[in-house]
Structure 1
């Protein structure tokens, strides 16, 4: 294989890389195969994260609320598949620095096919250090469609190593993720309310919980991470660090962050009665590494809420802690816009 075969040109997914110094702003990455979201795939995801959103679990309730004959696909699965598809740019990822402007503009139902495009928007060389190989930041625009309809749009910023010893000299303004000091955690409730389907009869999900803004609910049910390779295979995630302990800086496979997000969303679905779906994220900070067999606990803080459609939209902050023999460690700080009755 020639060095050119490691670049993302030509429409083929490279066997290795792509490396930072082989990318350029404007590059569109090769697409992974589209995935039809059938009941089997959704059932495997459910087994991995333990979610209980009624529109995902119950065909009859979904039809009564949404008018769709097919069950809703979990927004956690939509994002896990979408991000997995985008790992054509981040097989050699060191870390994902942030997500930005995450929107799920239309619900996805079983039977639809998800396709994803990834395009490089900007690049910035990392600061050289003598104790590590050169690396740089790559801002990419990601869009997934379900049968041609936008299903997930966002930007993310992986940190990638170079193949060679020299940095290419990019210094684009990449920015950062959402403001963690924002009153609703970077969630724009008014803008996100436009993503709530107006025709959904959300009141059929039951009386909403009484939850005072600013208060925190702790899920008494802790859960542990297992079967991590299964989710990687299910979602076409190609990142080496999640599959090969030898390329991990910890000497152990890192758990895919979207598995932790999926388990956090599952916890929220247990805590928040009448939860229908998620339509946006504020910020998603993986504050520490996650490993298989970690025991996780979850806390949920209501940051704000407004009426939306025939229900309400709530900005929620979810924090996840891993409990290990050497003590607890925070691993996720995530804000989202949840649609409820």
Structure 2
């Protein structure tokens, strides 16, 4: 991406808070110009929904689906220090009522949340809370998960006039349309044009 015209590199310059003096090399000055321009461009595009874009009753279907592999499951259990052998020991899992390894339930929740971000919380200021997290059916390596989110409520924020609070219910289902995860969450969402 092309940056702004470089300032006169012989005189001292201030580039958005960075003082670049004549004792610095021309390369360093160009670096600051490029880095500053790139940073501005990186955050110039805002994606995600604003508070005004949510309507109570709307349902968003999050695509694409995500197939969870045993590699995903083993990696996640190691990352989170979950040492229960039901998640990664085939022999142990064969002796349980499930007969095979289970996907760690926090991984299921994390994937369902991740699937919903682009439609629900990509522009969020903050997640405010979660409630009623339920895992009504097991998830196994090889299952493909899909998700949808329903807007339950929205209201103005009492403490932040530039934002509102949106409450949603997100459901995760597997390839057989069995519900495997459901939860509610409240999200602080910015307004498009705050007063």
Q: Judge conservation of contact 2:61–2:147 (CA < 8 Å) in 1.
A: no
Measure the CA separation in 2 of the matches of 1:36 and 1:115. 9
Map Cα deviations across residues 130-169 of structure 1 (whole Å, 9 max, x no partner). Answer: xxx6101100011001221111111111111011125xxx
Q: Aligned partners of 2:116, 2:52: CA distance in 1, in Å? A: 18
The answer to whether the 8 Å contact 1:128/1:134 transfers is no
| Higher radius of gyration, 1 or 2 | 2
The correspondence of residues 146-295 of structure 1 with structure 2, limited to 5 A, is 146-147=174-175, 148-166=177-195
CA contact (8 A) 2:85 2:92 kept: yes
How far did residue 127 of structure 1 move? Answer: 2.1
- Tell me the TM-score normalized by structure 1: 0.41
- Asked if 1:41 is matched to 2:72, the reply is yes
Aligned-partner SS, 1:116: strand
Q: Gapped runs of 5+ residues in structure 2?
A: 1-45
When the two chains are superposed, the root-mean-square deviation of aligned CA atoms in Å is 1.7
Q: How many residues align?
A: 148
Q: Name the TM-score, length of structure 2 as normaliser.
A: 0.70
Cα drift, residue 92 of structure 1: 1.5
Structure 1 gap segments, 5+ residues each: 1-14, 167-341
1:1-341 equivalences under 5 Å are 16-68=47-99, 70-87=100-117, 88-127=119-158, 134-147=162-175, 148-166=177-195
Q: Deviations over 1:159-185 (max 9, x none)?
A: 11011125xxxxxxxxxxxxxxxxxxx
Q: Runs of 4+ in structure 1 displaced over 3 angstroms?
A: none
Instruction: Name the structure where helix makes up a greater proportion of residues.
Output: 2
